Structure 1
């Protein structure tokens, strides 16, 4: 497979999950932000933007600016519109590999970005529309793509971004500061019903955090997502060694996953910020390692002049 095709598929997976995760985070915080006094609204908006990895340059940053940066800015790859546009552009570059159903779903989604009101009520609807469209994209990929290398690169991007976005979602879950309940956080991740069936009579912040962080069977949990990334990396590079791994990405992801799975904690909520920072760092490092191994061809393709 050409490295440019593999890279496009990897980033399609990442951008679709980024749009989905950003829509979930914005949706669960929007009502609370809209009800705060102006001064608190500004500080809370800046804090939420910082969780997404962006720092505001103005002290007057308010809810309208937050909606623009997180939802509607087409030039910002961390926004919903920017992520969906970037996913569509990568699909265009890999048009000979992605299925017609996947391309048409991404293309239709991109054309639908301009049909939404940009106020608070319109953003609620935009977030729910985004969740529906990203689900359709994932469904089109699942049912129309062969489970070969192209599929593994797509899944690798999806699983890394899913782990990262769930970590960012949990980073906003300081319930005492934000007034958010863990019920809302579970609903944000689409995990509420699964959590009730799994825990039954055990409720509380600790159990909810444990479910979203460590559950091996729920698709949006961090441990599940990291395990999924490990499986994709193993399929892409099935070589076996008696000691260590050829793939730095597999080592990084495996260490992050095993640390979470085997770490014993007496107070998971107290350690949650540390865990989330470690997961986000591991996802970033793994993405860099994947780029170096599979995508970086600038030096190989560089023109070399003749030596006289």
Structure 2
């Protein structure tokens, strides 16, 4: 597979997943602002932007958060920006993705202006989650399980682990008590799966353990880190450059085993720091994957200039 195609597929996976999880994160954040009578809204808004690594100038209003994380089409951290970027990457990889996936991404991008003007942000977030589910459903039904599938799934798994870590960090937002664990489970579409698996009421430690380390739930952090490791082992590659892929697997494996073999109480006692470790592992793996499988940025620029 051509490097440019593999890179586009990888970023389709990341961008669609980022849009989905950003919608979930913003939905729970706005609910906390509405339900917590003691909330310090500017501090909470600044904290959520910090969790998403966005620059800001205090004080931060609710509209500032929505503009940066939901509606700004020029930001790779916003929902509108990621969905537009996913469509552009799909255009570059048009020869390997199915017509159904392309049309779904194209339609989503074209409908963004109308939905971003919805009277309630919640309606916009629900639509984003539904469109992401449509893309993943069509991709699953129409893509052969070859390298095209592997690169898209690899991007999806890395992004999901990273974004679930960010979502859990909202438990410690400044200026607010943060969402409760039942809300976090529902936000991750995990409440029913938790009840079937744990068979007890929601408690802090059991809910955290489920979202962190459950090996069967597709939105747990450990599941996605393991999924990314497995896919890296399935993608063809040999020779000295294979060392980079093995280093990426090592980074992900360390993060996963740290979660699995550390007492959940210790993780909760230092949750933001532990989640930042997960993010660093995903960033390191993404950088190594880029260096192993994708063209360097200078080569891409040179190719475009030559055209």
Q: TM-score, normalised by structure 1?
A: 0.90
The 1:3–1:125 alpha-carbon spacing in structure 2 relative to 1, beyond 3 Å, is: same
Structure 2 partner of 1:259? 258
Determine the C-alpha separation between the residues in 2 that align with 1:245 and 1:59. 41
Determine the C-alpha separation between the residues in 1 that align with 2:204 and 2:263. 17
| Conserved 8 A contact 1:116-1:122 | no
Determine the C-alpha separation between the residues in 1 that align with 2:170 and 2:129. 19
Unaligned runs of 5+ residues in structure 2 are: 303-307
Determine the C-alpha separation between the residues in 2 that align with 1:107 and 1:220. 26
| Conserved 8 A contact 1:46-1:55 | no
Structure 2 partner of 1:9? 9
| Conserved 8 A contact 1:206-1:268 | no
- TM-aligned CA deviation for residue 266 of structure 1: 4.3
- TM-aligned CA deviation for residue 102 of structure 1: 0.3
The 1:85–1:213 alpha-carbon spacing in structure 2 relative to 1, beyond 3 Å, is: same
Determine the C-alpha separation between the residues in 2 that align with 1:170 and 1:300. 38
- TM-aligned CA deviation for residue 34 of structure 1: 4.3
Structure 2 partner of 1:53? 53
Larger Rg: 1
The 1:278–1:134 alpha-carbon spacing in structure 2 relative to 1, beyond 3 Å, is: same
Match of 1:77, SS? coil
Unaligned runs of 5+ residues in structure 1 are: 304-308
Alignment of 1:1-308 (within 5 A): 1-34=1-34, 40-56=40-56, 58-116=57-115, 118=117, 121-174=119-172, 177-237=176-236, 247-297=246-296
Determine the C-alpha separation between the residues in 2 that align with 1:19 and 1:302. 27
Determine the C-alpha separation between the residues in 2 that align with 1:62 and 1:302. 38
| Conserved 8 A contact 1:245-1:251 | no
Determine the C-alpha separation between the residues in 2 that align with 1:273 and 1:246. 28
Determine the C-alpha separation between the residues in 1 that align with 2:297 and 2:164. 33
Structure 2 partner of 1:306? none
- TM-aligned CA deviation for residue 268 of structure 1: 3.3
| Conserved 8 A contact 1:19-1:83 | yes
Aligned length: 299
Determine the C-alpha separation between the residues in 2 that align with 1:117 and 1:161. 23
| Conserved 8 A contact 1:171-1:273 | yes
- TM-aligned CA deviation for residue 88 of structure 1: 0.3
| Conserved 8 A contact 2:115-2:124 | yes
Task: Please give the root-mean-square deviation of Cα atoms over the aligned residues, in Å.
Answer: 2.4
The 1:37–1:116 alpha-carbon spacing in structure 2 relative to 1, beyond 3 Å, is: farther
- Cα deviation, 1:3-40, whole Å, max 9, x if unaligned, reads 00000000000000100010000011112324678992
| Conserved 8 A contact 1:15-1:84 | yes
- Cα deviation, 1:165-203, whole Å, max 9, x if unaligned, reads 000000002389424211111001000000111111253
Structure 1 partner of 2:305? none
- TM-aligned CA deviation for residue 55 of structure 1: 2.5
- Cα deviation, 1:192-232, whole Å, max 9, x if unaligned, reads 00011111125311111111001001000000000110111
Determine the C-alpha separation between the residues in 2 that align with 1:142 and 1:240. 31
Determine the C-alpha separation between the residues in 1 that align with 2:138 and 2:122. 25
- Cα deviation, 1:39-97, whole Å, max 9, x if unaligned, reads 922221111111111121x2232001111111100001111100100000000011111
| Conserved 8 A contact 2:36-2:176 | no
| Conserved 8 A contact 2:33-2:41 | yes
